[in-house]
Amino acid sequence: MAKALYIDYQKCTGCRLCELVCAVKHDGISNPTRSRIKVMKWEAEGLYIPMSCQQCQDAPCLNVCPVKAISRDEELGRVVVDYDVCIGCRSCVAVCPFGAMNFNVIDKKVIKCDLCDGDPQCVRFCDVNALEFVSPDEISIGKKRDAAGRLSKAGREAGVLLAEL
C-alpha cells in the first residue's frame, strides 16, 4: 500500500518551513505562493492547520477535468496532473473541497502536492512530526490507541468518582 501524508495539526507550531521547502524543492524559488502545502493560521487562538492534497480515491479534481489531464498514480498513491494535456481552466481549483489544488499566478498553471515522488520534503523538515508519511492503516491504528487511552483514563476517573460517592 502506498504511503499517505498524515497531518496532525495539534502538533504544528505554525513555522511554515514546509511551505518554504516545498517551493524551493519544486521551483528552486522561495515563495510560499508556490507551495503545495499551506499552513492556515488563527494566530489569536494559537491554531495552525497545514492544508495539503488528500490524494482522494474518488478525486473531485480528476472527475471534473474536462480534458482528462488528471489521473491517479496507484504506485505512489497520488493524484497527478499531466501538464501536456492540462488547458489551465482551473475547474479542479474550483471543485477541490480542501483548497488543495492551487493556481500559480506567476507560471499560470495549476499546482498540487506530488508527494515529492515518494520523499515529501515537508515531512523531512518537520521536526515536530506534525507531518508524517505513513501507511494509511497506521494512521487509524495510532488514533485508535490514543482514543482508547483517553477512554480508559476517563473510565478510571469515573471509577474513582463512583468509589468516592
Partner 1 sequence: MPLKRKIAYIDLTTGDIEVKPIPIEVRKKFLGGRGLDAYLLYNHTKKGCDPIGPDNTLMVSGGILTATCASATARTHVMAKSPLTGLLGSANMGGFFAPEMAWAGFHHLVIKGKAKHPVYIYIHNGEIEIRDAEGIWGLPVTDAQWAIRDDLGDQEVKSMVCGPAGENLVAYANVMTGIKNSGGRSGMGCVMGSKNLKAVAARGTMDIKIAHPVEALEYNKRFIDQIISAKVNQTQGTLGTPFIWGATNSWGGIRCRNFQYNQCEYADDIEPERIDEICEETMGPYHMTGCFGCQVHCRAQYKITEGPYAGRYDEGPEYTSQGAFGGETDTPRANTVLVGNHLVDQYGMDNLETGSLIAWAMELYEKGILTKKDTDGLDLSFGNDEAVIEMIDRICYRKGFVGDTLAKGGIQASKVFGKDSFQYLIQVKGMSNLHSDERATPALALNIATGSRGSDHLRSRPAIDLYHLPQDVLRRIYSTPIPYDGPLSSEHTEYIGKPWQVFWQENCYMAVDCLGICKYHTTFLGATLPNFEDWPKVLYYNTGLDMTPEEIWMVARRCNMIERLFNLREGLTRNDLEKGDMLNHRYFDEPTRRGAPEVVGRVIEKDKFIKMIDEFYEHKGLDKDGNPKPETLKELDIENEPSHLV
Q: Minimum distance between the CB of residue 150 and partner 1, rounded to whole angstroms?
A: 13
Residue 75 or 127: which CB sits closer to partner 1? 127
Q: Minimum distance between the CB of residue 151 and partner 1, rounded to whole angstroms?
A: 18
Residue 45 or 84: which CB sits closer to partner 1? 45
Q: How far apart are CA 62 and CA 92, in angstroms?
A: 7
Q: Which class for 32: exposed (0-12), middle (13-18), buried (19 or more C-beta within 10 A)? A: middle
Residue 6 or 48: which CB sits closer to partner 1? 48
Q: Parallel, antiparallel, or unpaired for β 131-134 and 47-51?
A: unpaired
Q: Minimum distance between the CB of residue 24 and partner 1, rounded to whole angstroms?
A: 5
Q: Minimum distance between the CB of residue 121 and partner 1, rounded to whole angstroms?
A: 7
Q: Minimum distance between the CB of residue 8 and partner 1, rounded to whole angstroms?
A: 9
3-state secondary structure (DSSP) of residue 94: helix
Task: Concatenate the DSSP letters of all residues of 101-151 into one string.
Answer: SEEETTTTEEE---GGGG--HHHHH-TT-SEEEE-HHHHHHHHHHHHHHHH
Q: How far apart are CA 146 and CA 116, in angstroms?
A: 29
Interface with partner 1 (CB under 8 A): 10-11, 13-17, 20-21, 24-25, 28-34, 43-46, 48, 105-106, 121, 124-125, 127-128
Residue 71 or 125: which CB sits closer to partner 1? 125
Residue 106 or 154: which CB sits closer to partner 1? 106
Q: Name the residue with cell 504544528.
A: 12
